[in-house]
A and B are shown apart, each in its own frame.
Chain A
Amino acid sequence: MGAKMFGARVPRLEDPRLLTGQGSYTDDFHLPGMLEAAFVRSPHSHARINGIDTSAALTHEGVVAVYTTADLPEHLRDTTVPFQVPNPAISQPFQQRLLEDREVCFAGEPIALVVADT
């Protein structure tokens, strides 16, 4: 079987599907009961967080849950993860907490996770 493939033009089986808009990319999936998640991110480049009030968000129609640092399992609250895939070329790897609740160090740092119908 292998010998037949050498030097041969092998038509890709996925092409007709991808050429007619019938592909299935991650964002194309719609499963029954599926929820959507969105991160609340810092609008400031450097700021102290004095408090997070999720009550208004929770009363919003369609919102199922709002997660902050306090909702994480205890051992994950202060765990930091690498911002980029570790690489020797990165001399000062930046580590960040999963969700920040004390001090944000860049605009866009995740603070809360909102889960809702849409």
Chain B
Amino acid sequence: MSDRRTISVTINGETFERNVETRLTLADFIRHECLLTGTHVGCEHGVCGACTILLNGQTARSCLMLAVQADGQEIKTVEGIAPNDQELHPLQQAFQDNHGLQCGFCTPGMLTTLLEFLENNPDPTEREVREAISGNLCRCTGYQGIVAAALDAAKRLQAGA
């Protein structure tokens, strides 16, 4: 017997109302119910960070949350970072310019994590950046580029780019 609830979640400004099983994870809700497959599921137990989303502006592992817990909340995923279809957010542009991604699987989690981090710490040291992304695994071993991208993004954001 399945226990279901109707929930309403706002993702990137669009409201999704769905009747879901109470055991459905938020990650699966975003990917399968809302068809936003930019959020990736790597380990399904909170280690890899690929599924990181912003819940009311704060990072959260969407694989460790249930969809029903996000009822009435506001979420931002990787699809909602760029200002429009033509432009990239300065953080995304810095990733491209600094070779901050290879296969792109960890990228959504890196971007959401760094988005929150740079908001709280607009002028970080390299050490602080490494600490900030310590919960996000990149298996292309691209940390060097990611750290460079984050530091570059901090400069661009401060310059108002």
Interface residues of A (CB under 8 A from B): 11-12, 14-16, 18-25, 27-28, 30
Contacts and interface: CB of A to CB of B under 8 A. Distances in A.
Contact of A19 (B35, B36, B77, B92): B92
Nearest to B38: A21
B78 interface: yes
Interface residue SS majority, chain B = loop
Interface of B: 31, 35-41, 77-79, 81-82, 88, 92, 95-96, 101, 103-105, 107-108, 111
Contacts of B82: 19-20
B95 A21 contact: no
A24 B38 CA distance: 9
A28 B34 CA distance: 12
Given A21-B36, A25-B40, A16 B88 contact: yes
A30 to B, nearest CB: 7
B37 A19 contact: no
Contacts of A25: 37, 40, 105
